[in-house]
Amino acid sequence: MKAAASPGIGMPLLLAEWRSHPLRTLLAVAAIAAGVALGFAIHLINTAAYNEFSAALKGITGQSDLQVRGVQPLADEALYERLLRVPEVEAASPVLEIDAGVPDRREALKLLGIDVFQAAAIAPDLIGMPAEDRPFDTLADDAVFLSPAAMEWLGLRQGDSLRLRSGSGEVRLRVAGGLVRARAGQRLAVMDIGAAQWRFDRLGKLSRVELKLRPGADRDRLRERLARELAPGALVGEPQDQETRTANMSRAYRVNLNVLALVALFTGAFLVFSTQALSVIRRRSQLALLRVIGMTRRQVLRQILAEGLAAGVIGSLLGLAAGYGMAALALRLFGGDLGGGYFPGVQPSARFAPGAALLFFLAGTGVALLGCAASAWEAARARPAQALKAGAEDVALSRLSSPWPALACIAAAMLLVRLPPWQELPIPGYLAIALLLIGGIGLMPRMAASLFGALALLGARRRGTVGTLALARLANAPNQASIALGGVLSSFSLMVAMVIMVASFRVSVDDWLSEVLAADLYLRSASAGNSAALGPQEQQAIARTPGVARVEFLRSQQLVLDPARPPVALIARPIDVADPARTLPMTGPALTPDRLPADALPVWVSEAMVDLYGHAPGKRIRLALGPGEREFVVAGVWRDYARQSGAIQMRLADYRALTGERQVNDGAIWLQPGGRAADVIDALRALPFGAGLELAEPGEIRAVSLRIFDRSFAVTYLLEAVAIVIGLFGIGATFSSQALARAKEFGMLRHVGVLRRQVLAVLALEGSLLTLLGIAAGFALGFAISLILVFVVNPQSFHWTMRLHLPWEILSAVALVLMLAAAATALLAGRQAISGSAVRAVREDW
């Protein structure tokens, strides 16, 4: 009768395994920790930035219940008088919002013009603190109040003079005090609304009206009524609508970063699987002996799962601590936008989130358990008598050779890529990538057996001892080879996919910049903000500048088409209706003049407008421009990598006819034959308003744009590096474990006359062939995943398309590094495995 195994044997077995192979255990823990740390850090950074941005918005909107704004950036102030007469309104606070350009600064200063008496009842945080001897500065026409962050940014203090751009000139204001209740990092300026209208040439205009309702008023019903009565020139919303717009705009970026961060965790799952599978194979006879002396199947299952769970728990805890530290450091050094630019003007700080920490902890431990589940189940089901025999290791993994589950995953992935996004997020695309990766790895046993078996048959007469032994091993033990390939395939394929996606995007952006930057020189009335503009006289002066052959001016502003979405850019410029591709980077054919209706004006929309608003070519749309609404027809679609929320372009002549406005923001300059850009720049600087112009050549703009692109994808580059490092360590751990587990095999080979150097050569050849297969399969799998990223995930996330580009230099370099690492690791592990006596290595089989 068998004696029952001691219930306390689990921990000693776990500690003994970790002491025997500490490096392999550390690698599995590190892989889990890296994935959890990156995911948790990105979540904390984005959450902190969004929460701080939301708090800053609440400080601006105060205690308002409803918010009425124009579809265009500026509305007639008669709107304020009309809202004052609404019975349900207790207080109404008009606001003029200006993104004021600051000389010698590339960022704008947000300036709010308010009615101090009305704002006191709704947004008291916006009221400045004047000096004690000047209490009426809040009403002065030259006084401005700055938040602490704005004072620090501008290097000013109370009593100093502040210069801001207005039109083609400057406005000088006196810093009369501070805004003590502004959020940390919030750059904000406040002044009297009448003074702001006068100083910035916006008489009779305002941006929005904040409404505070009387007690008992039905907010929803009033919102619906006002929306009907004030349409089409005004939109009625709630203060949190702006938070929703920001959240919707940044959501795809945040989700994509989190998914990319989980790539390391996903790769770690395969590393845990290979680690546990090799550990179980190596201890197969030991576990069988424990079964013989009384250990039950359930105890064996719990033992293996406990080993994976322990690695997951330790890795997840370390990852949470590292992720919090990474988030705190990143927020302090780089701010909260991670390169995306969605949360400007805030200074968030990292706060530990217990709920998110629990989710990432469960993800890390769950991945570890999934990684060891198959090994634990096989170890529990193994028959002790069969497991005690030598040479049955590959039989233990025979279930891996079935191709049907892998083929089912690939088929499901092909179906998912055809599905539309869920909640405007490419969730089906992400699931397709995961299933494709699982399916590709699942096919490796059958692929390895077929390939190496064919090589063994084809070259049977031409191989020497080393080639024969290496191919025989790989052909007859394909399941163990697949374990080694799993880590290589997962890391390399994901790295290939991300490299191709980023390279495709970068090359597409570079080509797009070359297409849209067709002029010799570009000018802008201010580097940032909307307070600067060029009037007709300034435009004529620029056109008459020596060396200038032709100038095309451009006017841009924002339109709010949907309160739940960010504003859409409206760009007016000279466009040839017969050939819009001369000006715009069209994605397809445009409507010809004979197909355009006579009762509607043509507009050309960006790709995002098609996805977000359904503005396909030929569709009639209505836009509020000037005093009323006008009907337009979509004449074509153009590619725009600069505006994720959408853009509309129209002819400058049509815009001026509808709005009566003659000002412009930007200009494209073509030089006379033989003219030099430097000479024209000097001539433009000499104009009376030339000091306020920002001038740049196409090469400068392209370089700056690509630097911004690289900054936006800095996190992606980091994740690629993590995937490569994990893959390299995975190769080392897998080949080392396999070499040590085959000590008896090597002892037998040496016993029958195979030389030590020949055994080492066999290991190096096996490692090289396996890695070569992993690289080839990983490239094919990574290429397939990159197609999903380029043609499914990115269009559904950011609403633009790109062309495919393969960076062969980077891919070849990484493949070479993997090859060398695999061969070197196999050699080093082989030296340790054959260092002992050949007799001692095989004595267990006697």
**Residues 718-739, mean pLDDT to the nearest whole number:** 65
**What was the pLDDT predicted at 440?**
87
Q: Is the pLDDT of residue 838 over 70?
A: no
Contact (CB, 8 A) for 378 and 396? yes
Q: Which residues does 368 contact at the CB level (< 8 Å), separation at least 6?
A: 28, 32, 269, 272, 308, 309, 311, 312, 313, 315
Contact (CB, 8 A) for 274 and 730? yes
**What was the pLDDT predicted at 658?**
92
The more confidently predicted of residues 227 and 55 is 227
β-strands 208-213, 234-237: how paired? unpaired
Contact (CB, 8 A) for 63 and 314? no
Q: Is the pLDDT of residue 347 over 50?
A: yes
392 burial class (0-12, 13-18, 19+ CB within 10 angstroms)?
A: middle
Lowest mean pLDDT among 470-479, 541-550, 613-622: 470-479
Tally Cβ neighbours within 10 Å of residue 795.
Answer: 18
pLDDT tens per residue, range 89-98: 999 999 999 9
Q: Which residues does 548 contact at the CB level (< 8 Å), separation at least 6?
A: 542, 669, 670, 671, 672, 675, 680
Model confidence band, residue 810 (pLDDT cutoffs 50, 70, 90): confident
The more confidently predicted of residues 839 and 611 is 611
**What was the pLDDT predicted at 205?**
93
The more confidently predicted of residues 297 and 539 is 539
pLDDT tens per residue, range 391-450: 555 555 555 567 888 899 999 999 999 999 987 788 899 899 989 988 888 888 778 777
d(CA 740, CA 830): 8
Name 68's bridge partners: 209, 236
Contact (CB, 8 A) for 695 and 681? yes
Best-predicted range by mean pLDDT among 52-66, 330-344, 687-701, 761-775? 687-701
The more confidently predicted of residues 818 and 605 is 605
Residue type, 707: R
The more confidently predicted of residues 682 and 15 is 682
d(CA 490, CA 262): 13
Model confidence band, residue 655 (pLDDT cutoffs 50, 70, 90): very high
d(CA 447, CA 438): 14
**Residues 802-820, mean pLDDT to the nearest whole number:** 87
Containing H/E element for 177?
Answer: strand 169-178
**What was the pLDDT predicted at 459?**
59
Q: Is the dihedral of CA 604, 609, 611, 614 positive or negative?
A: negative
d(CA 462, CA 464): 7
**Residues 605-618, mean pLDDT to the nearest whole number:** 93
The more confidently predicted of residues 472 and 776 is 776
Contact (CB, 8 A) for 280 and 380? no
Q: Which residues does 558 contact at the CB level (< 8 Å), separation at least 6?
A: 72, 73, 567, 568, 569, 570
Q: Is the pLDDT of residue 506 over 50?
A: yes
Let me know how long the chain is.
846
**Residues 229-233, mean pLDDT to the nearest whole number:** 83
**What was the pLDDT predicted at 1?**
42
Q: Is the pLDDT of residue 663 over 80?
A: yes
**What was the pLDDT predicted at 552?**
95
**Residues 50-54, mean pLDDT to the nearest whole number:** 73
The more confidently predicted of residues 16 and 595 is 595
Q: 3-class SS at 150?
A: helix
Model confidence band, residue 704 (pLDDT cutoffs 50, 70, 90): confident
The torsion angles phi and psi of 709, rounded to 5 degrees, stand at -60, -50
**Residues 378-388, mean pLDDT to the nearest whole number:** 65
Percent of the chain with pLDDT over 70: 80
**Residues 706-722, mean pLDDT to the nearest whole number:** 74
The more confidently predicted of residues 136 and 423 is 136
Helices 465-476, 478-516: inter-axial angle, 10-degree rounding: 90
Contact (CB, 8 A) for 390 and 748? no
**Residues 149-169, mean pLDDT to the nearest whole number:** 91
The more confidently predicted of residues 662 and 749 is 662
**What was the pLDDT predicted at 591?**
92
**What was the pLDDT predicted at 842?**
53
**What was the pLDDT predicted at 845?**
46
pLDDT tens per residue, range 529-572: 778 889 999 999 999 999 999 999 999 999 888 877 888 999 99
Q: Is the pLDDT of residue 470 over 50?
A: yes
d(CA 712, CA 178): 34
d(CA 595, CA 592): 5
Model confidence band, residue 5 (pLDDT cutoffs 50, 70, 90): very low
Please tell me the pTM assigned to this model.
Answer: 0.81
Percent of the chain with pLDDT over 90: 36
β-strands 208-213, 89-100: how paired? antiparallel
Enter the tokens of residue 628: 């009323």
Nearest-5° Cα angle at 819, 484 to 713: 90
d(CA 644, CA 584): 17
Contact (CB, 8 A) for 286 and 382? no
d(CA 495, CA 489): 10
**What was the pLDDT predicted at 719?**
65
**Residues 816-828, mean pLDDT to the nearest whole number:** 74
**What was the pLDDT predicted at 654?**
95
Model confidence band, residue 221 (pLDDT cutoffs 50, 70, 90): very high
Average pLDDT of the chain is 82
